A and B are shown apart, each in its own frame.
Chain A
Amino acid sequence: MKQTDLQDELERMHTASFGWALLCCNHRREEAEEVLQTTYLKVLEGKATFGGESSLRTWLFGVIRRTASEQRRQRWLRLQIFDRWQTALPVSMHAPDPEHMASASEHSRTLLKALAVLSARQRQVLHLVFYQDLTIEEAAQILNLNLGTARTHFERGKRQLRKMLNPSGVQR
């Protein structure tokens, strides 16, 4: 694929990629932008090359997920080495961004709070299926999971999410 075609494709998928990057970064906007920027650099500089085994979107989402993991590891390491002497209270790396929560509507805020309780895998599978309109097979490819495992995460996550969103106990 040519560089210009690649850039066009990245631009076409940009908003969806941003949504996925947000989820991978626990809805922290600055981190998501950084992850997205690094991912685009990797793609356009040829450090991450599309082999054609899956769709471009699936592959790109996989690169975003790996980049987010790398940056999270680096941030954790930095926190361990440099910030342990600082007197400021440590900011949790898993809590959703309060700014993002505040700007969201009541409906979305409830969903974000409920998602934060789920495991990372369940959250990611549900996001990919419901938010990104992907199939469970594609979600499994992105997350590098077996199809059965992805399906289990999907079903359990869905059940738990519904329980939290509908505490009255309406099981559908």
Chain B
Amino acid sequence: MTENDHDLRDRFAALRRHEEAQAPEFTALPNSVRKPVRPRLKVTPIAAATCLVAIVVAGLLFKTPWQRPQPQPGKPVASILEWKPPTDFLLDTPGRQLLGTVPAIGAFQGDLITPTPHRRSPQVRKPALP
């Protein structure tokens, strides 16, 4: 900083005086500082470990083992080979028999239009040159 900076210093000093006059009271600001601080919940590692052990023990005690469903004595059990799904009929689409078989060559007796015998187009005979 040089001595020639006094012009700038004066300008900043004027701004400082203006802003200092506008500054809020200090007592007005830190009101919220005095607000009661909420006690922070302190979870000690021992308490956390105790809770974890209690949860595991409770889980072991009340755990019901998984059991395979047993067949009832009086009820016959259907074999999987005999079982038919209720929506089986949906698989029967129209024309399925045609699509499922391979036709033999020459053995088809259907309604196909027999091809007309090929006719040769008449040729115009050119006259012989003299």
Taking Cβ atoms with an 8 Å cutoff, the residues of A that contact B are 7, 10-11, 14-15, 18-19, 22, 29, 33, 36-37, 40-41, 44-45, 103-105, 107-108, 111-112, 126-127, 129-131, 136, 158, 161-162, 165, 172
- Across the interface, name the chain A residue whose C-beta is closest to B30: A40
7 additional A-B residue pairs with CB within 8 Å, beyond A111-B15, A130-B8: A10-B26, A40-B29, A45-B37, A104-B18, A111-B12, A130-B9, A165-B8
B1 contacts the other chain (CB 8 A): yes
Taking Cβ atoms with an 8 Å cutoff, the residues of B that contact A are 1, 4-5, 7-9, 11-16, 18-20, 22-24, 26, 29-30, 32-33, 37
Q: Top 9 nearest A-B pairs by Cβ distance?
A: A130-B12, A172-B4, A18-B23, A14-B26, A131-B12, A108-B15, A11-B26, A15-B23, A15-B20
* B13 CB contacts on chain A under 8 angstroms: 131
Inter-chain residue pair count (beta carbon < 8 A):
76
* B8 CB contacts on chain A under 8 angstroms: 126, 130, 158, 161-162, 165
Is B15 a contact partner of A37 (Cβ separation < 8 A)? no
- Kindly state the separation between the CA atoms of A14 and B30 in the bound complex, as whole angstroms: 11
- Kindly state the separation between the CA atoms of A109 and B8 in the bound complex, as whole angstroms: 14
* A127 CB contacts on chain B under 8 angstroms: 12
* B26 CB contacts on chain A under 8 angstroms: 10-11, 14
Once A19-B19, A37-B29, A41-B33 are accepted as A-B contacts, the answer to whether A130 and B24 lie under 8 Å apart by CB is: no
**Of listed A104, A126, A130, residue having the most chain B CB within 10 A:** A130
* B32 CB contacts on chain A under 8 angstroms: 37, 41
* A126 CB contacts on chain B under 8 angstroms: 8, 12
Is A44 a contact partner of B30 (Cβ separation < 8 A)? yes
* A130 CB contacts on chain B under 8 angstroms: 5, 8-9, 11-12
Is B19 a contact partner of A22 (Cβ separation < 8 A)? yes
- Kindly state the separation between the CA atoms of A158 and B7 in the bound complex, as whole angstroms: 11
* B18 CB contacts on chain A under 8 angstroms: 103-105, 108
* A40 CB contacts on chain B under 8 angstroms: 29-30, 33
Once A130-B8, A130-B9 are accepted as A-B contacts, the answer to whether A33 and B15 lie under 8 Å apart by CB is: no
- Kindly state the separation between the CA atoms of A127 and B8 in the bound complex, as whole angstroms: 10
Is B14 a contact partner of A158 (Cβ separation < 8 A)? no
**What would 9 A/B residue contacts be, using CB atoms closer than 8 Å?**
A14-B26, A15-B20, A41-B32, A41-B33, A44-B33, A130-B8, A130-B9, A130-B11, A172-B7
Is B16 a contact partner of A131 (Cβ separation < 8 A)? yes
* B24 CB contacts on chain A under 8 angstroms: 18, 33
